[in-house]
Amino acid sequence: MIVPLAAMQKEARKKGYAVPHFLGANFEMTLAAIEAAKECGSPLALGFAPEVFAMIPLEYAVPMLREAADRATVPVSIQLEHGKGYEILARAISLGIQSVMFDGSHLPVEENIQKTKEIVKMAHAFGCDVEAELGYVGGSALCDIESEESRETDPEIVLEFIQQSEVDSLAISFGNVHGRYRGEAKLNYALVEKIAGMTEVPLTMHGGSGLTKEQYKKSIEAGISNIHFYTNITLGLWRSLEELAKKRNGQPVYHEICGATIAYFKKEILNIMEICKSAGKA
């Protein structure tokens, strides 16, 4: 069943867990996540990120996600992630998506507020909730892309941003990065606690891959209600497929590769749902 993401995030904040959020870029990833959520009784968020999966048209991805989510026996939210402009967000909403993320983190604060406000007005008119980003989460899931350094969210402008934009959830930067961490991750839990103490708007974390269980635990306890995962659950896939290839003398049939991919993602996602403390919360 499809559930609005903002409502799911608010429930997670109230009960002290994080909504596990995965890319649903193709059928294998989507089915694995839904099967894992069903098995452990977890709510689930699935996103589509155009900059990561530019080869897959939005017009194919969103209907697939909607159909899969609608058939699920657990609550599933679907979101367009990191939309950089009005046009792509409007396209996603016209295709039936119920949550969009406007990423204006690269803009000056006043421009970010103004554009987020415009997106919120448009999205809310169609019953769609909006996530925005304040501060800048650096890094990238794309191996060949260089990214700016992260810039922590300034708590002094959080309330102004939320009040003026009327955004439904807020992605913050507190030492988290997209893709692989270079060296030890240093997360500013005190900053999360401070921002969480200022507002009831749910806080989300992008760049959740590769942290320790203790770091996830502390992030959730500090006030994070939604964690995005992609890079870390994909890195071990190749080893799994190499094992399959060895069993098939280097020539596995394609449907075997698909099956092995689903099984691998499901196993990884079940582990993450335990870490997010979302198992049994559906």
Which strand (E) or helix (H) includes residue 47? Answer: strand 44-48
Backbone angles phi, psi at 61, to 5 degrees: -70, -50
Query: Does 206 show up as a binding residue in the annotation?
Result: yes
Asked if residues 39 and 279 have their Cβ atoms less than 8 Å apart, the reply is no
Q: Is 106 annotated as a binding residue?
A: no
CA dist 256 and 157 (Å) reads: 51
User: Residue 178, annotated ligand binder?
Assistant: yes
Which amino acid belongs to residue 236? Answer: G
For 128, the token pair is 């769609």
Please say whether the beta carbons of 119 and 89 come within 8 A. Answer: yes
Decide the pairing of beta strands 169-172 and 129-134. Answer: parallel
What is the DSSP-derived secondary structure letter of residue 179? Answer: S
d(CA 53, CA 47): 11
Q: Is residue 154 annotated as involved in ligand binding?
A: no
The reply, when asked if residue 133 is annotated as ligand binding, is: yes
* Annotation: binding site for Zn(2+): 82, 103, 133, 178, 206
* Annotation: binding site: 82, 103, 133, 178, 206
